[in-house]
Structure 1
Amino acid sequence: MSEILTKIILRGRCVVPGVSEGEALVTGQQISGWGGIDSRTGTIVETRHELRDISFAGKVLVFPGAKGSSGWSNAFHLTRTFGVAPAAMLFNEMTTKVALGAVVTRAPCMTDFDQNPLDVIETGDWVRVDADQGVVEITKRPSSQP
């Protein structure tokens, strides 16, 4: 019995150009850069964050936006330096913190979507981000139910 994979297309605005794909890591909570992530491992370390102790390295990080200080960009820049940056980032709220962090991370990034990615993408879905074309293609993870 073959599985039928569901694909969903989102359209949005490019923040950082490029094409990348990977498994989605989704949070409905903003991410704090300075003190909220371990830049050496790409792990969220913020005490009360729902993704505490989970690494975003090589994943498509889907989140509402950035919080905290201007250190956000430095913390995410270091993830690129250590080779643990997200494969791509998709976020809803454009701020100077997240914009600068996206640029220094150099991962494809998008915002301003035609649908809320937090409503469409789930952790474990496969996501292809083509920021150059403004297109995100989501392949829903197979259901574990019979």
Structure 2
Amino acid sequence: MKTILHGRMVVGGCAEGEALVTSEMISGWGGVDPATGTVIELRHELHGQSFKDKVLVFPGAKGSSGWSGVFQSTRLNGSAPKAMLFNVMNSKIAVGAVVVHAPAMTDFDRDPLQLIKTGDWVRVDADKGVVEITSKD
């Protein structure tokens, strides 16, 4: 089953891959290992999981302004997500999305956290503002 989601481009481009979804905001500084793209924040629901080469679906960024530096390091280390879909826009995530150089979107017509599940195949066309979700089930 395919579902279409519409949103606003933050960073243009197209990418597709397996979704990694969390209902919790992600902390960059101290919350992510930039060498592997693994969430290392101890109490985070994604603790121990890597977003490398995944479409990361999450509410937004929390923590310090170091978020963008950590996410730029994931790009430089080859451990960045293929695309990012998030609900809450702030300065941390805006700069972080730009330095990752991956398609990023926000301001959706429906909540991606309710529509996308980890393991779903997601195609992001940020240029057109369209996300195509193919359920793994």
Per the TM superposition, whether the score is higher than 0.5 is: yes
Runs of 4+ in structure 1 off by over 3 angstroms are none
Q: CA deviation at 1:110?
A: 0.1
Q: Does 1:69 align with 2:96?
A: no
2:77 corresponds to which residue?
82
Deviations 1:62-106 (A, max 9, x none): 000000000000000000000010000000000000000000001
Q: Of residues 80, 92, 113 in structure 1, which corresponds to 2:108?
A: 113
Query: Gapped runs of 5+ residues in structure 1?
Result: 1-5
User: In 1, distance between residues paired with 2:92 and 2:101?
Assistant: 14
Q: CA deviation at 1:35?
A: 0.5
- TM-score, scaled relative to structure 2: 0.99
After superposition, the CA RMSD in angstroms is: 0.3
Q: Of residues 11, 19, 27 in structure 1, which corresponds to 2:22?
A: 27
Q: Does 1:47 align with 2:47?
A: no
- TM-score, scaled relative to structure 1: 0.93
2:134 corresponds to which residue?
139
Larger Rg: 1
Aligned partner of residue 49 in structure 2, secondary structure: coil
Count how many residue pairs are aligned between Structure 1 and Structure 2: 137
User: In 2, distance between residues paired with 1:27 and 1:118?
Assistant: 7
1:125 corresponds to which residue?
120
User: In 1, distance between residues paired with 2:91 and 2:132?
Assistant: 26
User: In 1, distance between residues paired with 2:55 and 2:71?
Assistant: 14
User: 2:35 is matched by which residue type in structure 1?
Assistant: R
User: 2:122 is matched by which residue type in structure 1?
Assistant: V
User: 1:45 is matched by which residue type in structure 2?
Assistant: I
User: 1:75 is matched by which residue type in structure 2?
Assistant: V
